[in-house]
Chain A
Amino acid sequence: MKKYIIFILIAIVGWSLATTFKAIPFGADRRGDLNNPDKVAAYYLKESPETLQTANSITAIVVNFRGFDTLGEVTVLFLAATGLASILYRKEDDEEEKEASKKDVERVRLPSSSLVRTGAKILFPLILLLGIYVFVHGHLTPGGGFQGGAIIATGFLLMLITYKHFETNHNVMVWLESLAGLAFVAVGLYGLFVYGSFLQNTHSVGTLNDLISGGLIPLIYIFIGIKVGTELTNILDILLKIKKS
């Protein structure tokens, strides 16, 4: 019975996908005319280098044209991290329990080999540097705040699983995350109240391919990068501290 229901559900999903994609001609050029944009894709491709001076048009769309959606996306991640932390939070009242949990914090059962430890030590700053590069250059090269933050989190992950006693300062992480989120909203609201629309560019956009160009995009991507990096690191830290039951 269960299997038949699954097959029926798969058939319904497949049928609805097929009817949707049948309407779109395969391989057709739907970008529209670049010089005289009548479609949204052509409009974005034309406007992002010209009026916003942004080399990477994807970041121009994500942060500038659709900046409000990005705020929602960041909020979703924030809520996920908060929910996870509240579910997995354990109270450490008794001294005895504290001692027990300290033993549990020793996440790695066996100590890592010296090869792994030395390699992690060398790689960790390089990974952090790559992550910071990715989100600082979000408007010039592929990548952006979310990607850079994820790369930073993988660097912290490497240290967390290699070293037994590697601790991230939880308070600093939470404060950084909250301040970055608030700064994003504050920049958006500043544009709303002073210039009349959310995330309005408040300074000149500069010239194409400069590091400081693209108006608000680098600023916001730095905030998003810090926020995503600290959030994902916190999630991993909490998950790795779970007691094995």
Chain B
Amino acid sequence: MKSIMASMRGEGFTGAVMSLPYIIFFSVFIAFPIGFSFVLMFHKWNIITPMEWVGMRNFGRLFHDAQFFKAILNTLTFLVIHIPLQIIIALLLAVGLNQKIRLRGLFRSLYFMPVIVSGVVITIMWRQLFGFETGLLNMLLLKLGLAKIPWINHPSYAMPSIAIMATWKNVGLYVVLFLVGLQNIPRFLYEAADIDGAGPIQKFWYITLPALNNTMVLVIILSTIGGFSLFIEPFVMTGGGPMNSTLSAMLYIYNQAFYFGHMGYSATLGIFFAGIVLLVILVQKKIVEQD
């Protein structure tokens, strides 16, 4: 008994030591900033001057800040375009890659590659592709006898263009998730469907899709959270323009903090926005659970 206790103490100590790096990381980079943000909400602070207590003034400002609500609306617009696009493309690719085709392994790697490349690098690359006068996409359109498109230079096109780019970057991750889901569907379901004379579309609709329900929930929640944190793409590609059409909530919060030095106000916006994200995720979860 004594030796078991000693061994448990030893394991406990080892466990504590092993966990220590993450506990430090969590405390410094997650718990402290969140706690500090709650303090900042009631202060005016630009990092270099002492904090000034402003009570609820940051909230008063928030509810009169039309640009912030425009940024939230832009983010929701992005989500509405990006999530369905991402799910449809990822699902189609996953179904394709689940077939016995040549070079399947190579294709799987290729589709995943953009996921591991830096977002900044990809955004700079797509900025070149989207260029109105010298971009490759417009050169291609001209060769086909079509008119040039102001991909990122017109308020109506800019956010859909960013959604296309974000989909291209992230789709590989969701292809992998769908592939895992597809490979977990029992073969006998398809064999039974074959005996019943079901075609490919019926099999997809009545077997594949319902069997992927759990994966779909995961994909929707992950892309929603990812979509709400839209930042690098507008920051590097458009700066939030044209006419604020790509100003995402995260970009606006960042600008308030690091361009204009309103740390307190930025923290208020951040916490308010986190509340909205939480609410949307809860609603999503509820809807999916009901289905």
Chain B associates with chain A: no
- Please report A residues at the B interface, Cβ cutoff 8 Å: none
